[in-house]
Amino acid sequence: MMSGVVIIGAGECGVRAAFALREHGYKGELTLIGAEAALPYERPPLSKAGEIRLIRTAEAYSDNQIALRLGKVVTNIDFGSRLVFLSGGEALAYDHLLFTTGARARLFSGVEGCLTLRTDLDAQVILSRLSPGAKIGIIGGGFIGLELAALARKAGAEVTVIEAGPRLLGRAVPPQIARVLQERHSLEGVSLMLDTGVVGASANQIVLADGTLLEFDAVIAGVGSLPETALAEAAGLAVRNGIAVDGDFRTSAPQVFAAGDCCNFDWRGQQVRLESWKAAQDQGEHVALSILGRSVPYNKVPWFWSDQYDLSLQVAGIFDLGAPIHSRATGDGTTVVFQCDAQQNLVAAAGIGPGNATSKDIRIFEKLIERQTIVDAGRLADPSQNLKRLLAAT
């Protein structure tokens, strides 16, 4: 029986890891298993633009001798004999095994009948409902909910967003950034119901905590995601809000690795699980080197973005929303904020504005965070201080 590297999960991270292995000289058997029948595709555009974009062409896989096993479900893993069993009874042997199983849409009890967005098929169903005048109810004021709200408004639908917290994006970004998005969604005609609990929902109705019944043409739940760890747990891997991994993204089993949305890893002293296209790319590259025995420290800064209307939001690092957050004066229709820790290390930054208005600044902040730069917050807040010069000085 042939063996080599087997990757379970054909999303961004799994695909990146497969191609990185080839780019770094791996010559052995390489198999990428995906539960979906479609060629691996980018997920961010599903909620931002409602479009399907392939990660790589079919020819790229064959040219790099990456065996695609699409539409296949892994039913069991035997770590002792190093075998992966597929539905239908087929077994694949491996020398190294990589979990890149991603995450699934989170649903709480009582809202199981709602639409959710995770796959290209989900996107097709949702897009078919976004017609002029359609009444769309969205549960959750996080990134997915707000991106879909913007997409629905562009299609001419009437949109209501219901958020249990006191503000939008309450667990994700600083209030200065969330305020800009809240004002824009209101300006675009989105009805925002904040501090409003939901106790039940179906395909066309939402029941609020006070008993109010709201009727819609379609209801979408965007209340976060959960790591896809059922297979890992059944196989006996350590799982703590994701598959637990070390600095090389090794799991608790020999020669078994995990990366991307499904894993929980240490980021500068705190355990984190990231749901991010950039993290999936970075970790795919990193774990490929680990599999090849060329371990390097993982220093990539968490980074993500969101496009809503003509606004682009970018975040680098991880904010502590309970600690002070500073603003850098811009005066040009953009908002840029940042945070330093108690030792004055720059740890996070975020910017929002039309198009790529804040991209250059956030890119510099990202590099400063990666270098663990000690800065004076007052100096960084001063717009007369040139960020490029500050970066060069580090």
User: Do both 231 and 371 map to the same domain?
Assistant: no
Q: Which residues of 106-129 are buried (b: 16+ CB within 10 A; e: fewer)?
A: ebeeebeebbbbbbbebbeebbeb
Alpha-carbon gap, residue 270 to 292, rounded angstroms: 27
* Placement of tokens 């002070």 in the chain: 324
Alpha-carbon gap, residue 279 to 300, rounded angstroms: 8
Give percent of the chain above pLDDT 70.
99
Helices (H), the chain: 12-23, 44-48, 58-63, 120-129, 143-154, 175-187, 230-235, 277-291, 359-370, 377-381, 387-393
User: In the chain, which residues have pLDDT < 70?
Assistant: 1-2, 50
Amino acid 338: pLDDT: 96
- Supply the DSSP symbol for 156: T
3-state secondary structure of 105: strand
Amino acid 63: pLDDT: 97
Give how far Cα 358 sits from Cα of 25, 145, 150, 361, 362, Å.
Answer: 38, 23, 20, 5, 6
Alpha-carbon gap, residue 305 to 169, rounded angstroms: 13
Q: Which residues of 7-17 are buried (b: 16+ CB within 10 A; e: fewer)?
A: bbbbbbbbbbb
Amino acid 115: pLDDT: 94
User: Do both 240 and 95 map to the same domain?
Assistant: yes
User: Do both 129 and 211 map to the same domain?
Assistant: yes
- Supply the DSSP symbol for 237: -
User: What helix, strand, coil percent values describe the chain, rounded to 5?
Assistant: 25, 30, 45
Residue 312 token pair: 């682009």
Amino acid 2: pLDDT: 58
Residue 95 lies in a domain: yes
CATH number at residue 363: 3.30.390.30
Residue 160 lies in a domain: yes
User: Do both 65 and 19 map to the same domain?
Assistant: yes
User: Do both 241 and 190 map to the same domain?
Assistant: no
Whether residue 358 contacts residue 314, with contact meaning beta carbons closer than 8 Å, is answered with yes
User: Do both 60 and 132 map to the same domain?
Assistant: no
Residue 56 lies in a domain: yes
Residue 180 token pair: 């800009």
Amino acid 48: pLDDT: 76
CA atoms within 13 A on the CB side of 314: 21
Residue 302 lies in a domain: no
Amino acid 191: pLDDT: 98
Residue 43 lies in a domain: yes
* Placement of tokens 């799991």 in the chain: 251
Amino acid 117: pLDDT: 92
239 bridge partner residues: 243
Residue 115 lies in a domain: no
- State if pTM tops 0.75: yes
Residue 199 lies in a domain: yes
User: Do both 25 and 85 map to the same domain?
Assistant: yes
Whether residue 352 contacts residue 308, with contact meaning beta carbons closer than 8 Å, is answered with no
| Number of domains comprising the chain | 3
Q: Backbone phi, then psi, for 360, in 5-degree steps? A: -65, -45
- Supply the DSSP symbol for 90: -
Whether residue 245 contacts residue 263, with contact meaning beta carbons closer than 8 Å, is answered with yes
Its domain, for residue 350, covers 310-393
3-state secondary structure of 257: strand
Q: How confident is the model over 287-316, as pLDDT tens digits?
A: 999 999 998 889 999 999 999 999 999 999
- Final residue in a domain of this structure, among 165, 191, 221: 221
CATH number at residue 52: 3.50.50.60
Residue 112 lies in a domain: no
Amino acid 329: pLDDT: 82
- Final residue in a domain of this structure, among 221, 247, 271: 221
Q: What is the C-alpha radius of gyration for the chain, rounded to an integer number of angstroms?
A: 22
Amino acid 73: pLDDT: 94
Q: How confident is the model over 378-392, as pLDDT tens digits?
A: 888 988 888 888 888
Amino acid 14: pLDDT: 97
What is the CA angle 329-332-333, rounded to 5? 100
Q: How confident is the model over 152-172, as pLDDT tens digits?
A: 999 999 999 999 999 999 988
Query: 31, 45, 65: which is closest to 147 by C-alpha?
Result: 45
User: Do both 127 and 97 map to the same domain?
Assistant: no
User: Do both 136 and 277 map to the same domain?
Assistant: no
User: Do both 207 and 171 map to the same domain?
Assistant: yes
Amino acid 376: pLDDT: 86
Helices (H), 26-103: 44-48, 58-63
User: Do both 238 and 209 map to the same domain?
Assistant: no
Distance, C-alpha 161 to centroid of its chain = 21
User: Do both 241 and 101 map to the same domain?
Assistant: yes
- Final residue in a domain of this structure, among 263, 291, 319: 291
Task: Mention every residue, 6+ apart, whose C-beta is less than 8 A from residue 138.
Answer: 145, 148, 149, 152, 159, 160, 161, 162, 219, 220, 221, 222
Whether residue 120 contacts residue 127, with contact meaning beta carbons closer than 8 Å, is answered with no
